[in-house]
Structure 1
Amino acid sequence: MITWLATDDPFPCIERALAAGSGAPGLLAASAELLPSRLIDAYSHGIFPWYSDGQPVLWWSPDPRMILRPDEFKVSPSLRKTLKRIVRDAVWEVRVDDDFAAVMRACAQAPRHGQHGTWITADIVEAYCSLHHAGQAHSVETWCNGQRVGGLYGVSLGRMFFGESMYASVTDASKIALAALVGHLRQHKVEVIDCQQNTAHLASLGAREITRQAFIAHVQASVDTEPVPWRFDKTILLDVISSAASTAK
């Protein structure tokens, strides 16, 4: 039985989320509203929204949980070569929070294999933009010749980053943004990027599953710590390139 949340209702215990084989594993609750305060409460407890237009707001806490540890980010030889070119070529930039809402809209329009439509609804954009204005959601953007060609966005609480979506309009543009994010989070001792659910693409970049219990324990230890600063540029990629070179030896 899925819990229906009124405006001031707390989330139910995450162990009440639907189990594997239920048809909607990880589904915990539903609500009529998507308030910024509810979003912060959700992420602080390892819960996230995922739903489509015409549905109520659906709240999820899957088990297992897909994560990427920045120290485990996989840089293929071809991506390492691309990152080195990005760093030395002045036409390429990495920008932070240049146009958060536009990145969300671009993610909403990006085609997804086996998926029709988008879960990034107008209400989602409005709610996350409110978090962005409060300094709790950020975009990392890849630019070339003055045009934004890829990026990602997510929620940042304390020493925890909750990845939401990414897009690319040119090859590897989203990977460049992710590599920059990884380099930045490494520098600030952020140990986990939440990737929510397993995909082959994320796995190819080093993401893996952990138990929900382990994930929640990490979230609880991380979200109330000193927040990460959000100012960096493409030179952060030098750390990722160097780390990739060391791993290859």
Structure 2
Amino acid sequence: MSNLWDAVCHSVWAATVVTVAIVGAGAVERTFASLAEQEAPDTGAVAAAPAASGLAAAPGPIAAAVQIPNVPPATKPTPEEMFSLATSLAGTRIGTGAAGPRGVVFYDPRCPYCHAAWQALRGRDLDLLWVPVPALGSEPAERSRIAAALQNTTGGKASLEAGFEKEAAAAMTPELEAKAQENGAVFMVLARSFPSEIEGVPAFVMRDESGGVRIGSGWPATPGVVPQ
């Protein structure tokens, strides 16, 4: 696992990226930028989403926009390896199965589409690990919703309810920042490795009925990714 992680993540921030904004069903606006001209990303710089006005009314799966590198990593993980990486991250698990979670949901508590996914899935009997990532850009370190999500990962549904419904916030400590950066780095590996499947958050890495791994993003989710 560590060798795969080192190989995949070594140059995550050393490539040209594509800023992808979902502006309607199937309509994509792309702007190229070089990370070499930017400052090193902080906890809130995993993605910088453009304004989302009008997106809520657009038909079809919609994802909050993220920066997606247009070059795959040197060592692309398989879906199974991606599942192993994702399930090792800090997050809130809804379920207690001995075999581990059925899947992972990468989300930003500030994202309206992530909120919609939570509202639709919270009543389902699905063992999921909800992994917070700073996909919508930076936020005040003294009042961070990402920090609150990482600070309170053992409360199950109550933790996620607090993050989405009550907009819980907390100070970003060095320990929480390290977790946020690790979560964000794995999310970027996912986006780089599976660019046709990952356009933003919420993003899903799910095991299907046959034991295979399916990857997708947006809400409603890509058909076949989230079990019915």
Interval of TM-score (by shorter of Structure 1 and Structure 2): 0.3 to 0.5
TM-score by length of 1: 0.30
TM-score by length of 2: 0.32
Q: Which has the higher helix share?
A: 1
Which of 1 and 2 has greater Rg? 1
